Homo-oligomer: A and B are copies of this chain.
């Protein structure tokens, strides 16, 4: 699988660059849709500028994965509250007969499937640069900027970068992924010049990366670290106040950095085309979990009524809160993650050193210097039945040994989640679902759920390994 860097890149490009016939099909389809949307708007008497945007417009899309984004720029006179409805009405008419799904980002938009191609019909306001009324208003300006700055060669470099990021799991600005957007990939190629130069730059990553392509902050570069606090800052060429990388989670940035290093050292197609995960057999899973030594807890619950970005935002928030709850109660947390099919099955997964904790722990009181606090501490603990030993002085502070409130992680979670867990920090929609019921499975007790859901099985198999796929193929023989 290994090869020279040039060979790997040209092999990948051969696969991901759309061939003339595919390109023609998409361009014809896009043109036809532009026309239909414009006609539908006119029929409804809405003054709309309709235009193709996104990766197809910029010619940075990947073969087999075209997304046709048709934007309609609407007059600022339309109120924010009815923008979505107006647009949906037009979009529905324009794609009549096709499979239609209403989606929601900042405002509603329509997703339709035509000739097997996903089409997004999205409204925005027709504003001047800098006078944005909604987040999507910038998109036409992004398209113009990228088209102006990208040479044909650079478009292929964007494709390579996108495919690499997809392969290692850091592509996509949606909350679920928290990774790099297509526009961000394009800007990186514009700034660094090529796929290889982007990789080289990130492989050297030490502290923060700050890129200001259009020199918006020329002469006052010192202000940048104060204005933006994310670890990766790419100033939007069309909006001085916006960091295009603000939604990139540090985990994704670090994964990208680590993968660039591994790839530069041993280039391989595997980075772009990771092998399919073969889930463990149920029998093997049972055995693995039985003998692993750690404890895996699965909090399994049902459907949450929310669009994906809201769902994942709430899942992540709740996951962090529950991790903190376990840690605050002294459980040694190895890892935690969350899984959702965005439909009927959701699961928080916590890997602990042990489900049980010893019944006694040390409780540190105030240092001797704080006389008043010491007095209160002694009054509270000196004749307390929960005190196993002490109070005694250690390293200049009062200390007691006390009984632990929770020695079983399952009891702790059951107790704190029975009302949904809002007080433990679970997000609102999640708490509602939890309050109606959930199940906690320990280790091999998850086997039945595992057996019933192949995607969950793949996810859990990968989680148990823990190792990124691209790592498996690069340093095994190190």
Q: How far is the CB of A13 from chain B (nearest CB, A)?
A: 28
A396 to B256, CA, bound (A): 11
Contact of A468 with B255 in the complex, beta carbons under 8 Å: no
Using a CB-CB cutoff of 8 Å, which residues 120-145 of chain A contact chain B? none
Closest to A463 in B: B389
Kindly list chain B residues whose C-beta atoms are within 8 Å of the C-beta of A403.
Answer: 293
Contact of B467 with A392 in the complex, beta carbons under 8 Å: yes
Given known A-B contacts A293-B403, A389-B464, A254 and B362 have beta carbons under 8 A apart:
no
Closest to A390 in B: B466
Q: Mark A281-311, 1 if CB is under 8 A from B, else 0.
A: 0000000000011110000000000000000
A206 to B374, CA, bound (A): 13
Closest to A464 in B: B389
Kindly list chain B residues whose C-beta atoms are within 8 Å of the C-beta of A255.
Answer: 393
Given known A-B contacts A250-B396, A368-B254, A335 and B389 have beta carbons under 8 A apart:
yes
Kindly list chain B residues whose C-beta atoms are within 8 Å of the C-beta of A389.
Answer: 334-335, 351, 464-467
Contact of A371 with B261 in the complex, beta carbons under 8 Å: yes
A198 to B468, CA, bound (A): 65
Binds B, one of A210-218, A270-278, A470-478: A470-478
Contact of B476 with A369 in the complex, beta carbons under 8 Å: no
Q: Count copies of this chain in the complex.
A: 2
Q: Which of B358, B378, B464, B471 contacts A332 (CB 8 A)?
A: B358
Q: Which of B334, B375, B388, B475 contacts A292 (CB 8 A)?
A: B388
By secondary structure, the A interface counts as mixed
Given known A-B contacts A207-B369, A467-B390, A396 and B254 have beta carbons under 8 A apart:
yes
Contact of B393 with A258 in the complex, beta carbons under 8 Å: yes
Q: How far is the CB of A313 from chain B (nearest CB, A)?
A: 20
Q: How far is the CB of A54 from chain B (nearest CB, A)?
A: 30
**A359 interface residue (CB < 8 Å to B):** yes
Contact of A392 with B293 in the complex, beta carbons under 8 Å: no
Kindly list chain B residues whose C-beta atoms are within 8 Å of the C-beta of A401.
Answer: 294, 334-335, 351, 466
Q: Mark A390-414, 1 if CB is under 8 A from B, else 0.
A: 1111111010110100000000000
Q: How far is the CB of A459 from chain B (nearest CB, A)?
A: 14
Kindly list chain B residues whose C-beta atoms are within 8 Å of the C-beta of A205.
Answer: 368-369
Contact of B394 with A335 in the complex, beta carbons under 8 Å: yes
**A383 interface residue (CB < 8 Å to B):** yes
Given known A-B contacts A261-B371, A335-B389, A394-B335, A478 and B362 have beta carbons under 8 A apart:
no
Q: How far is the CB of A256 from chain B (nearest CB, A)?
A: 10
Q: How far is the CB of A21 from chain B (nearest CB, A)?
A: 41
**A360 interface residue (CB < 8 Å to B):** yes
Kindly list chain B residues whose C-beta atoms are within 8 Å of the C-beta of A393.
Answer: 251, 254-255, 258, 468
**A226 interface residue (CB < 8 Å to B):** no
Kindly list chain B residues whose C-beta atoms are within 8 Å of the C-beta of A360.
Answer: 292-294, 334, 353
Given known A-B contacts A360-B334, A464-B389, A368 and B258 have beta carbons under 8 A apart:
yes
A351 to B375, CA, bound (A): 26
**A354 interface residue (CB < 8 Å to B):** yes
A395 to B476, CA, bound (A): 23
**A175 interface residue (CB < 8 Å to B):** no
Kindly list chain B residues whose C-beta atoms are within 8 Å of the C-beta of A476.
Answer: 382-383
Selected A-B contacts with CB under 8 Å, 14 pairs: A251-B394, A258-B374, A261-B374, A292-B388, A293-B358, A335-B401, A353-B357, A353-B361, A378-B475, A382-B467, A389-B464, A389-B467, A390-B467, A391-B471
Q: Which A residues contact B (CB, under 8 angstroms)?
A: 203-207, 250-251, 254-255, 257-258, 261, 292-295, 332, 334-335, 351, 353-354, 357-362, 368-369, 371, 374-375, 378-379, 382-383, 388-396, 398, 400-401, 403, 464-468, 471, 475-478
